[in-house]
Structure 1
Amino acid sequence: MSTTALAQELTTDDNSSTVTYKEDYFVQYNPVTLQDMLRSVPGTAALLAQADEEQGGRRVRGFGSNGDQILIDGKRIAGKTNSLGLQLKRIQADSVSYIELIRGTKAGLDVQSEGLIINVVMKESASKSNTVWIGGGEYVDGASVNPLLKITHTGEVDRLKYSLAIDSAIKQTRRNFNDTFFFADGTQYQDNMLTNNMDQKKALVNGGIEYNGENGDILRLNGQLEFDTQDTIELDNQSHLAENTFSVFGDSRTLTAGDDYQVSRTTYHRPFHWEFGGDYERRFDNVGLLKALFVINHGKHDFTRIFESGLNGAEISEDVTNFSTRTHGEKILRASLTQTFAEVHTIEYGGEVAINDVGTSTETTRFDGVVLPGTNDTDTQEKRAEAFISHNYAIASNISLQSSLNAEFSKITQTDNINDVPDNSRNFSFLKPRMNLRYDINEQNQIRVTAERKISQLDFGAFGSNFDAEDGETDGGNGELVPEDRLEFSVAYENRFADDQGSIAIRGFYNKIRDHIARIGVYSGDLPAPDNINQVVTLSVPGNIGDAEEYGVEINGSWRLKAMDLPNAIISGKYILRETEAMDPFLEMERPIQYVQKHEWLVSFQHDLPSTGTSYGFSVTNKGPVGPGGGSVGFRTDVIELWEKTIEPKASFYVEQLVFGNMKLRFDAKNILKAKTGYDLTKYTGNISLGNVNYNEIREASQQRVFSLTLQGSF
């Protein structure tokens, strides 16, 4: 039977162009989870990859109008650490009624469209009880075989649905580094062989309930506990080829040719997280649909970092120990009311309140008991309120206009033990308009135009001092930062191939950025700062450097290989070409925005063989930030250093086989290309603008391959 004959149909309503994949479409693929279902649909590869990247949770504070582009019953998950990527693997396929691929605008959804939205519609009544389990092991090159176990149980009692999930795994990461150091004249003076081994034990407990009232009310509640331990040991064996003097936490040391210097950095990280969230929905006659959702979460991270060293085979001894703690919590409440008028106008209006608290403390003590500079305690709180209104206008059956206006008000308060003032409070207010026009030329072709103002969220960690484990120093912060202000414009054209054979979309974009954030110089002298402060200072902090811009093109596509007699094989791809420009405050020249990708691409392939119950596929991706020469490098200038970082492609492969009836045996090979990276660091004596090179470091790094074998089933 052909794929397209399996109850897949195209529907077009007054507000969107929607492709609907009904339950029967997925039968031949023997899916166990929602993720199994989605990967067999053309066009979903990029969004699934994004969901996998965010399995640790969304980092954006609050919910906002933008969010996950994969929705459940038209709504986002009421959670932050309770991430979408994990939920896709927990929702049973038997509970799904159908899946919609929505291109462009559509009224009544919880998020604004970024081009494609996937809406998963659940069955009103699923099986009374069902358990999905995954068990197996994972092996990392150079480490050991470790077990993993995932169990999700769902059930239904009258109008109440419930679920309980437990994820447990032991993960190991092995990375290798080769560093080579050169004097300013090009003479090599040092070789480093460094290994970084991280061992992690992690367990998640997740539960949820859903109540469907007789009057149509829906109430969902969910919670999650996360237990974690992470131990990292980094061993650095340094071979010195020439005499060199350097500083170790304020202690000057000189090594000569032939010396072998061993450095050990041990980190004990003890994080703990909990989260509770929910959403409520009720329809009022003659008023509209009320939707509300909330989240409360809290996390704590305790770090103990021990730095030790030894010379020429002698037993290593302690240099310093750093103790630091970071706490974070978030409380969010969002509510909206949706009303439809004259069948073509839909208005949604509401508000959101969010309170975020972050606390950091750090103390570094030398082996002789001396407390080093940089010890601090910092507490930051953000109170943010947002009012929003959105209007969807179905101008014609094939034309839809969505316009919205968000008003954001926030207050950020910082207290620490360093500044003389008791606290540093600042207030912000912004208006954020957005417009999105969708025009369906016909059933296959669509044009989308979007204009929007976005305001970035400030990184609380940039306000106060932070301990940098890479160089063993405490970096300064800047309590005067203001958010970046972005005006974004884009035009997209999409062609959906006939007979469900895939699609291709091309989007051009231009973004104007004000108050761009990078590194700026700070003057710590007693005399007034000179006019050329950024050319003479040798200390830097995060700061606003003025205007910047980015522009480029994005191509997304998928193709079902029916023309090659492979109707169940799908190849998908994504490519972004992005140019960026900003004024470097130290070099006073135009340069790319730091660590923003110029080339980003993804290629994935999946082939299902229903007759044998076999499925296999691979993916290759690369995110290479832009550098001065236009290559795939990450470019960053600081007050006394210049970085160029290279990133090579990552690849993974899997094969899955149906066994013992409805069980799936799966083999995964991840990081096949060893995630190779590298950087070229030039360190300067004095300000970088003076051009006095101190030394140059070239690093090559790789991460070990990971193999796993799992068995998945349900009962």
Structure 2
Amino acid sequence: MHQFSLQKSKHLHNLKIIFLLFFTVYSQYVSAQQISPESTNEAGSKIVYDSEYFKPYNPVSAEDMLKRIPGTENLTQGFGFNQDGERRGLRSNTDQVLINGKRLTGKQVKSSVFLSNLPAKSVKRIEIITGNVRELDTEVGSRVINVVLKEDAGSGSGVVEAGILAWHNGQRRPMTSISYSGDLNGISYTSSFLMRPWVSPVDISDVFTTPQGGLLFREEEKQRQKQVQFIGRGSLSYNTVKGNVSLNGLIDHLPVNKQYVSNLFSDPSNIFMDSSGTIVDNLEGKNNKWEVSGDITYNFNKSVKLTTLFVYSDLISNRNNTNFDGKTAELDSILRPTGDLLQLGGDNRDKNETEKILRATLDFKLRKNHEIELGVEGAINSLDKKIDFYNVVDSNRINIPIINGDQEITEDRIEVFSTYSWKPISGMEIETGIAAEYSSLSQIGSDVSSSRSLKFVKPSINIFYNFDTNSQVYFSSLRDVGQLNFDDFIATVNREDDEILAGNPTLVPQKSWDFELGGEYRLPKGSGIINGRAFYSIVNDVEDLIPLDADNSQPGNLGTGKDYGFQLETSIRFGKFTQIDAVLSGSALLRKSSVTDPFTGSKRKFGNQPEYEFTLEGRHDVKSLGLVYGFDIKKNGPTIESDFIEFDSKSSTANIRVYFEKTIMDGLLIRVFWANVTSQKSYRERAIFNPSQLSGNITQLQSREFKRQGIYGFRFRSIF
């Protein structure tokens, strides 16, 4: 059998040592700091940053304020929906952000978006909390941000942005957003609207060779889009004598309009330089999402509190793909008109996905150091999806039969849970928990109709200990159950490789016993932070591809595997011991895993799991000039993917972003940025076997380069 050796990076280990030595040495030279640490009788601590701390930086939004705090970089990064889709129910919203001590309810909520739209002048203070925060289902040992708003913000304030984005292929698109928040007769409100291009131009090059290196043919593909996304958000909140009521809403509209233009070079007589055929895939459709969520908190007395949360979300997604013979395709155009091209075939996909969740918890403070939480969560998840394929011959449509091409899937789930928290001594907290889950799953389709039930018990124990206000250690052990991806139940399309992937209606959730030991050390006087953790998981029913028949595969469950590793996060503020007001932050995650490959019977690591993940971020504030500049670098390690007749080894280069920001006047900023500076490339080395991987007989090799285009632009930001 052909063996693949994946090269491991030796630099991450050295970087880890440098970070640790650097922070340890400089922590001895830290000067006085104007941040107030607060310790409590709980196994946790809190550092408070008042609004005065941020004034020299002239922040526009709450997100600008957080960027000046060491150790918060990874808590609010990026846009997105359903941030942790592998977790079930409202636990999948693992945002580590509170607003006035309350979580942002919802599955489509992302704190970075909310905070970027929240005017800085409405923020009273920001608290960084470590320890057990009962408002959130965060990972043990997590840092939590609590943004406390001013109570006298009745006049209202807003943030407006406008700018231009440009790509290396010549596209230029405007982007804009506006938000407003305030208080009216005791009702706090926020609203925002965002319009941005949803574009990611990609160039793909494939070279096919014999095992001996002889060139067979090559393909080139250009993926282009002309898409604009529109997002509207709003929230209302009202404080009562006994608690709080809040309501949130979201609407997201994305018209789909993109093309894949593929060229085949198969003529060896001209050294494979002239195209022997061009295919144009024209994709049109839409993604419409909406969500309503809310929560009600009611305090019966100082010892008993009721919290109820609800979510209703809906996604409608339609795709119509048409294949054309594109011999005359204009490869340099963004989207080529297809009216004069010969249609070859196509496929259609219609999907409607809904989620309804209702959750209620009762918190009892029995005595000073004892708390009990009792709760129940019910959910109904559904997916209605249909996919069909066809060819066009002599202007006649000929349907292609697809097995398991349509399904209506519904899961009704209920979970009851309880936790008991005990603080035996000052600085220590022990939390034990138990959850029991029952769900019924029904599937109706032309080829597959079935029903089944799933039952899980999920115990947990978390131990926190604070040595002082600057250092904490923790241990966690729990049983976790992953979220089923209903799309894996139904046949789907891998458009990059022109493959139809079979679905598997008998999938079960991936489950694991997770063990974690970690600690956090805050450098004196708020000058930085070091956070490390080691983890080990025994994973049951690992999700990956499994054999379907003699020469095909489908999504499935492999059996039991293990996943373990170590993560280090560091952040330091140079302004506390030098004249340079800069923050440098980094993180490194190293991991290994092992599971039995269903196609070869050999041990290998989990599919599509990076061997390491590395980030480095820096920013420098020149307050005298009203100037900020910075960078961030992200790099993931190699991955693998195993299939019936294929084995892939994947790698990628680093993604680098740089930016420059200038305060024009109080409340008005301009930012210039360049993302994906080095035009990040991903590589895939594929070995193709005949008749299978198990035979070890490689008949063809494929080398793929996946190149993302750089993006640059500018934007103005202002408050009003």
Alignment deviations for residues 75-104 of structure 1 (CA, whole Å, 9 cap, x no partner) = 321222233231121122222222222222
Instruction: Tell me the amino acid that sits aligned with residue 31 of structure 1.
Output: P
Structure 1 residues 313 and 426: alpha-carbon distance in aligned structure 2, compared to 1, 3 A threshold:
closer
User: Is residue 577 of structure 2 the alignment partner of residue 548 of structure 1?
Assistant: no
Residue 108 of structure 1 and its aligned partner are, at CA, apart by 5.0
User: Is residue 692 of structure 2 the alignment partner of residue 687 of structure 1?
Assistant: yes
Instruction: Tell me the amino acid that sits aligned with residue 598 of structure 2.
Output: P
Q: Distance in 2 between matches of 1:179 and 1:600?
A: 26
Structure 1 residues 576 and 189: alpha-carbon distance in aligned structure 2, compared to 1, 3 A threshold:
same
User: Is residue 594 of structure 2 the alignment partner of residue 581 of structure 1?
Assistant: yes
- Secondary structure of the residue aligned to 1:611 is helix
Corresponding residue to 1:657 among 652, 657, 662: 662
Structure 1 residues 8 and 55: alpha-carbon distance in aligned structure 2, compared to 1, 3 A threshold:
farther
Match of 1:324 in 2: 349
Instruction: Tell me the amino acid that sits aligned with residue 677 of structure 1.
Output: S
Corresponding residue to 1:283 among 280, 294, 299: 299
Match of 2:398 in 1: 370
Q: How does 1:121-140 map to 2 (within 5 A)?
A: 121-140=148-167
Match of 1:47 in 2: 75
Q: Is the 8 A contact 1:136 1:709 kept in 2?
A: yes
Q: Is the 8 A contact 2:217 2:265 kept in 1?
A: yes
Match of 1:115 in 2: 142
Corresponding residue to 1:334 among 359, 369, 376: 359
Cα RMSD of the aligned pairs, angstroms, is 2.3
Corresponding residue to 1:33 among 57, 61, 64: 61
Match of 2:417 in 1: 388
Q: Distance in 2 between matches of 1:695 and 1:204?
A: 46
Q: Is the 8 A contact 1:453 1:486 kept in 2?
A: yes
Residue 193 of structure 1 and its aligned partner are, at CA, apart by 2.5
Match of 2:383 in 1: 358
- Secondary structure of the residue aligned to 1:673 is coil
Structure 1 residues 451 and 146: alpha-carbon distance in aligned structure 2, compared to 1, 3 A threshold:
same
User: Is residue 627 of structure 2 the alignment partner of residue 614 of structure 1?
Assistant: yes
Q: Is the 8 A contact 2:188 2:238 kept in 1?
A: yes
Q: Distance in 2 between matches of 1:133 and 1:576?
A: 37
Residue 653 of structure 1 and its aligned partner are, at CA, apart by 1.1
Alignment deviations for residues 38-83 of structure 1 (CA, whole Å, 9 cap, x no partner) = 111100112223xx15357553442038722222233321222233
Residue 312 of structure 1 and its aligned partner are, at CA, apart by 9.2
Q: Distance in 1 between matches of 2:285 and 2:350?
A: 10
Instruction: Tell me the amino acid that sits aligned with residue 109 of structure 2.
Output: N
What TM-score, normalized by structure 1, do the two folds share?
A: 0.90
Q: Distance in 1 between matches of 2:382 and 2:716?
A: 41
Q: Distance in 1 between matches of 2:432 and 2:623?
A: 45
Q: How does 1:421-440 map to 2 (within 5 A)?
A: 423-440=449-466
Match of 2:538 in 1: 512
Residue 443 of structure 1 and its aligned partner are, at CA, apart by 3.0
Alignment deviations for residues 281-336 of structure 1 (CA, whole Å, 9 cap, x no partner) = 11102661111111111111110111223569998522211111111111111111
Residue 257 of structure 1 and its aligned partner are, at CA, apart by 10
Residue 271 of structure 1 and its aligned partner are, at CA, apart by 1.0
Structure 1 residues 319 and 693: alpha-carbon distance in aligned structure 2, compared to 1, 3 A threshold:
farther
Match of 2:491 in 1: 465
Q: Is the 8 A contact 2:267 2:276 kept in 1?
A: no
Q: Distance in 2 between matches of 1:299 and 1:312?
A: 37
Q: Is the 8 A contact 1:271 1:302 kept in 2?
A: yes
Q: Is the 8 A contact 1:177 1:700 kept in 2?
A: yes
What TM-score, normalized by structure 2, do the two folds share?
A: 0.90
Q: Distance in 1 between matches of 2:514 and 2:671?
A: 42
Q: How does 1:627-666 map to 2 (within 5 A)?
A: 633-666=638-671
Q: Distance in 2 between matches of 1:238 and 1:344?
A: 70
- Secondary structure of the residue aligned to 1:173 is coil
Instruction: Tell me the amino acid that sits aligned with residue 128 of structure 1.
Output: S
Q: Is the 8 A contact 1:337 1:350 kept in 2?
A: yes
Q: Is the 8 A contact 1:54 1:85 kept in 2?
A: no
User: Is residue 571 of structure 2 the alignment partner of residue 558 of structure 1?
Assistant: yes
- Secondary structure of the residue aligned to 1:396 is coil
Q: Distance in 2 between matches of 1:507 and 1:110?
A: 18
Q: Is the 8 A contact 1:406 1:432 kept in 2?
A: yes
Instruction: Tell me the amino acid that sits aligned with residue 11 of structure 1.
Output: S
Alignment deviations for residues 243-280 of structure 1 (CA, whole Å, 9 cap, x no partner) = 9xxxxxxxxxxx99966211211211311111111111
Deviation larger for 304-313 or 673-682: 304-313
Q: Distance in 1 between matches of 2:92 and 2:634?
A: 29
Instruction: Tell me the amino acid that sits aligned with residue 427 of structure 1.
Output: S
Structure 1 residues 260 and 337: alpha-carbon distance in aligned structure 2, compared to 1, 3 A threshold:
same
Corresponding residue to 1:698 among 695, 703, 714: 703
- Secondary structure of the residue aligned to 2:255 is strand
Q: Distance in 1 between matches of 2:298 and 2:274?
A: 76
User: Is residue 681 of structure 2 the alignment partner of residue 676 of structure 1?
Assistant: yes
- Secondary structure of the residue aligned to 1:428 is strand
Q: Is the 8 A contact 1:643 1:681 kept in 2?
A: yes
Deviation larger for 152-161 or 683-692: 683-692
Deviation larger for 144-153 or 95-104: 95-104
Match of 2:15 in 1: none
Q: Distance in 1 between matches of 2:226 and 2:90?
A: 33
Q: Distance in 2 between matches of 1:119 and 1:592?
A: 38
Q: Distance in 2 between matches of 1:566 and 1:539?
A: 63
Alignment deviations for residues 344-381 of structure 1 (CA, whole Å, 9 cap, x no partner) = 11222111111111111011110122111216221111
Match of 2:231 in 1: 204
Corresponding residue to 2:311 among 290, 295, 311: 295
Q: How does 1:520-539 map to 2 (within 5 A)?
A: 520-523=546-549, 537-539=550-552
Corresponding residue to 1:240 among 266, 269, 273: 266
Q: Distance in 2 between matches of 1:258 and 1:171?
A: 33
Q: Distance in 2 between matches of 1:110 and 1:179?
A: 44
Q: Distance in 2 between matches of 1:256 and 1:711?
A: 48
Q: Distance in 2 between matches of 1:359 and 1:680?
A: 36
Q: Distance in 1 between matches of 2:347 and 2:618?
A: 46
Deviation larger for 107-116 or 399-408: 107-116
Deviation larger for 258-267 or 33-42: 258-267
Match of 1:409 in 2: 438
Q: Distance in 2 between matches of 1:210 and 1:570?
A: 35
Structure 1 residues 242 and 471: alpha-carbon distance in aligned structure 2, compared to 1, 3 A threshold:
same
Instruction: Tell me the amino acid that sits aligned with residue 388 of structure 1.
Output: F
Structure 2 unaligned runs (5+)? 1-29, 331-339
Greater relative contact order (CA < 8 Å, ≥ 6 in sequence): 2
Q: Distance in 2 between matches of 1:467 and 1:502?
A: 47
Structure 1 residues 258 and 41: alpha-carbon distance in aligned structure 2, compared to 1, 3 A threshold:
closer
Instruction: Tell me the amino acid that sits aligned with residue 655 of structure 1.
Output: F
- Secondary structure of the residue aligned to 1:348 is strand
Q: Is the 8 A contact 1:95 1:127 kept in 2?
A: no
User: Is residue 504 of structure 2 the alignment partner of residue 478 of structure 1?
Assistant: yes
Residue 149 of structure 1 and its aligned partner are, at CA, apart by 1.0
Residues paired across the two proteins, number = 676
Deviation larger for 55-64 or 701-710: 55-64
Structure 1 unaligned runs (5+)? 244-254, 524-536, 625-632
Q: Distance in 2 between matches of 1:224 and 1:668?
A: 28
Residue 235 of structure 1 and its aligned partner are, at CA, apart by 1.2
